[in-house]
Amino acid sequence: MQRRFALKNIAAGALLAGAVLGFSACSPDKASFHATDITGADYAKDFQLVDFDGKPRSLADFKGKVVVVFFGYTHCPDVCPTTMSELAQVKQALGADGDKLQVLFVSVDPERDTPTVLKAYMQPFDPSFLALYAATPEKLAALAKDFKVFYQKVPRKDSADYSVDHTAASYVYDPQGRLRLFVRYGTSLQDWTDDIKQLLGGA
């Protein structure tokens, strides 16, 4: 009697294991990103900005592409040009899919970053990269708050010049316009490329 009961338990366990394996096989694999996965975040869902040609821009303009949004300024000596240069290399590494990557540089220095300055700054990195700006300082402040981005003007000693401290990271949206990743400064080109490939592949 005990033997029959044990055999029934073994059989039931085998059926349960088979069901679990079958379910796992039918379940889609969860994407594994190098950057911080912020899928489902309830902030930074859109923006209303102007590009260096005076055209109003929002996230919907770039549907179908992976969009990288970076906040910076043209007088930045290190983080900003490095990030733009690296993203240009990532675009090249994507090959034919490079056209599906849109890089957006959002200025946090409205005093100096005029449309003419922004356009001249972006062109050497890649002709498809766009620089955007807010219509007023108040709108820039509201946008930065929504994106949880920090920026602050820092006067230089013995000079009328200044620098701008700012968040050194990028936001990445998938081709459907959903916020997916927070990429920190210093992320390797290979990690950037791998993550963007996953998003282009439907992850």
For the stretch 41-63, pLDDT in tens is 999 999 999 999 999 999 999 99
* Residue 160: predicted pLDDT: 82
Are residue 25 and residue 119 in the same domain, yes or no?
no
pLDDT at 173 over 60: yes
Q: What is the C-alpha to C-alpha distance for residues 127 and 91, in angstroms, rounded to an integer?
A: 12
pLDDT at 14 over 90: no
* Residue 22: predicted pLDDT: 38
Are residue 25 and residue 95 in the same domain, yes or no?
no
Read off the pTM. Answer: 0.84
Count: domains in the chain: 2
Are residue 78 and residue 141 in the same domain, yes or no?
yes
Are residue 144 and residue 106 in the same domain, yes or no?
yes
Are residue 13 and residue 111 in the same domain, yes or no?
no
* Residue 30: predicted pLDDT: 67
pLDDT at 7 over 90: no
**pLDDT (mean) for 167-191:** 97
CATH, residue 176 = 3.40.30.10
Are residue 66 and residue 132 in the same domain, yes or no?
yes
Are residue 4 and residue 42 in the same domain, yes or no?
no
The single-letter code of the amino acid at 154 is V
Please give the residue that has the higher pLDDT: either 24 or 145.
Answer: 145
* Residue 159: predicted pLDDT: 79
Q: What is the DSSP string of 98-136?
A: GGGEEEEEEES-TTT--HHHHHHHHTTT-TT-EEEE-SS
Q: What is the C-alpha to C-alpha distance for residues 65 and 76, in angstroms, rounded to an integer?
A: 27
* Residue 31: predicted pLDDT: 77
Q: What is the C-alpha to C-alpha distance for residues 180 and 90, in angstroms, rounded to an integer?
A: 18
Are residue 59 and residue 103 in the same domain, yes or no?
yes
Alpha helices, DSSP H only, in the chain? 2-26, 79-93, 115-122, 137-146, 189-200
**Other Cβ atoms within 10 Å of 16 Cβ, number:** 10
Are residue 131 and residue 70 in the same domain, yes or no?
yes
Are residue 147 and residue 184 in the same domain, yes or no?
yes
Are residue 15 and residue 88 in the same domain, yes or no?
no
Are residue 55 and residue 21 in the same domain, yes or no?
no
Torsions phi, psi of 167, nearest 5? Answer: -60, 130
pLDDT at 5 over 50: no
For the stretch 122-171, pLDDT in tens is 999 999 999 999 999 999 999 999 999 999 999 988 778 999 999 999 99
- Pairing between β-strand 151-155 and β-strand 101-107 as defined by DSSP bridges: unpaired
> What is the largest distance, in Å, between two alpha-carbon atoms of the chain?
94
Q: Which domain holds residue 9?
A: 1-30
